Amino acid sequence: MGRAVTRPVIAALDAAWESELVAAVEATAGYTVTRRCADLADLLAAAAAGHGQIALVSADLRALDRPALHELASHGVEAAGVVGPDDEPGERRLRQLGVEVVLRADLASHEIDDALDALASRTRPHGGRGEAAPDGDPAGSKTAEGPQPATVIAVWGPTGAPGRTTVALNLAAELALRAPTLLVDLDTYGASVAQLLGLLDEAPGVAAAARAADQGGLDLAALARVAPEVTPGMRVLTGLPRAQRWTELRAPSVAHVLATARHLARFVVVDCGFAIEDDEELSYDTLAPRRNAATLTALAVADELVVVGTADPVGLQRLVRAVQDLTDLADLADLPDLADLPDLPGLPARSGRPPRVVVNRVRPGAVGPRPEQRITEALGRFAGLGDLDFLPDDRATLDAAVFAGTTLAEVAPQSALRRAIAALADAYAAPLPERRRRHRSRRGVVRS
């Protein structure tokens, strides 16, 4: 006995068996094809017009990528893949794109019915839409016996160069002394990790990783290739070589890069751009890229957040406003780029802990004698912040590190600045023993 209500299906199947599969769907008990689309653009238009609840897409559909699947989801349309018999490469590509249910074109109508029912009732695990784990587990989860997934630490701060990249780089270097660490440069306004480490601008880095994520080709091996180890235990995914390439970093792709990174290292440190406002002029068009999407995505998926400000009157005022801006982002998952990436935690839910505030370049000349006490009192009064970390101003040591293209741990291991950042790292890696690192010249790193 058939069901009283059927669910509408739209299809974009670039294959010889398209007619046979549509007929099989029409013969199911619960589904009917309402639109047969000629290409991906037609499919997205049909989804936006509300013609379907499920979209059938073939592995060879031209221009099908992760942002397109995200666009379908934004219209409330679930995507199911279809491949020909024995088309293992096609099935693998669809699953790497995040398609959870993949049908064979030769399935009988009752089998298609069951598979689409499973898609409709499927409950997704925490961590994002269809994020496939590197081991092929579509849930992206690990068993209790498996390796512990990484802690993602986003390093963010307001405008005015408060030292985000310096803190992110040296925090990653300190964590790498204890466990494998990946540093990711997601600053879409002025990526500079490569320059600080003396790496080539032409290294593929995060742009290549995002492109692979778009096309369903990002796995652990692919991520490791574009994130070389620059010192023992620390890999680096360099940022955009030119700021105008920010359109390559879209929210779904960045989320997948960070999800994959969790299985490449024990700690993932993300250097974020300063801007976190949403572009209201583009909000009507969910396909339009947003320059701040990379930062907003990193803040949404991170387990921990470090907020960096400078210890001078202007920098402290910006820091107070920055903390307020974070509070105003009541739920990052409600932003247009992230609304359809299920289970992304918003800032208030981050491990139940507030952001860790780091005051950088602390010096008496900027705020008067006993600067740490004065800053603590000011931030406590105007921003309700009481638990602060302080980094002393040490321009000479930082200049030496930049000149050598290295980290503070290598150029000035006994400096007060290095010790302060090491103490910050201890807050995240205290249970882990410190490893003895053998110095190795960065000049020997193979660069793409």
The CATH number linked to 364 is: 3.40.50.300
Q: Residue 248 in contact with residue 240, Cβ under 8 Å?
A: yes
269 & 168 share domain? yes
Same domain, yes or no, for 258 and 378? Answer: yes
- Average pLDDT of the chain is 84
Q: What is the CA radius of gyration of the chain?
A: 24
Q: How many CB atoms lie within 10 A of CB 197?
A: 23
Distance CA 249, CA 212 (A): 11
φ and ψ at residue 174, rounded to 5 degrees:
-70, -40
End-of-domain residue from the set 80, 99, 121: 121
**Do residue 114 and residue 219 come from a single domain?**
no
For the residues 339-352, what does the mean pLDDT come to? 46
pLDDT for the residue numbered 16: 83
pLDDT at 14 (0 to 100): 76
Look up residue 257 and give its amino acid.
Answer: V
In a domain, 361, yes or no: yes
Predicted confidence at residue 142, as pLDDT, reads 39
Q: Is there a contact between 408 and 170 (Cβ–Cβ < 8 Å)? A: yes
Evaluate whether residue 312 is within a structural domain: yes
Split into its structural domains, the chain has a count of 2
Is 315 found in the same domain as 181?
yes
Residue 40: its H or E element: helix 40-48
With 0-12 CB in 10 A as exposed, 13-18 as middle and 19+ as buried, what is 111?
Answer: middle
Counted residue by residue, the chain has a size of: 448
| pLDDT at residue 150, rounded to an integer | 86
pLDDT the model gives residue 332: 52
Residue 257 lies in a domain: yes
Range of the domain at 28: 7-121
Are 425 and 311 found together in one domain?
A: yes
**pLDDT one-digit tens code per residue, 58-116:** 998 998 998 899 889 989 999 999 999 889 999 999 998 889 899 999 999 999 999 99
Domain boundary residue among 67, 102, 121?
A: 121
pLDDT score of 446? 36
Residue 294 in contact with residue 303, Cβ under 8 Å?
no
Please check the confidence at residue 49 and state whether its pLDDT lies above 60.
yes
Residue 84: partners with Cβ closer than 8 Å, 6 or more residues away: 15, 17, 90, 104, 105
250 plus 386 within the same structural domain = yes
Query: How far is it, in rounded angstroms, from Cα 66 to Cα 131?
Result: 10
**Domain assignment of residue 140, yes or no:** no
Give the predicted TM-score (pTM) of the model: 0.78
Residue 11 has pLDDT above 90, yes or no: yes
Residue 127, domain member (yes or no): no
160 and 249 in a single domain? The answer is: yes
User: Are 32 and 107 in the same domain?
Assistant: yes
Q: pLDDT: is 273 or 328 the higher one? A: 273
pLDDT at 15 over 90: no
Does 145 fall in a domain? no
Q: Which residues does residue 356 pair with via DSSP β-bridges, in sequence order? A: 306
Chain centroid to Cα 47, Å, comes to 26
CATH of the domain at 69: 3.40.50.2300
Of the candidates 234, 250, 197, 243, the one whose C-alpha atom is nearest the C-alpha of residue 406 is: 197
Per residue in 383-422, pLDDT (tens digit) is: 888 889 999 999 999 999 999 999 999 999 999 999 999 9
Residue-wise pLDDT tens digits, 193-251: 999 999 876 667 999 999 999 988 898 999 999 999 999 999 999 999 889 999 999 99
Any residues with CB less than 8 A from the CB of 400 and at least 6 apart, and which? Answer: 411, 412
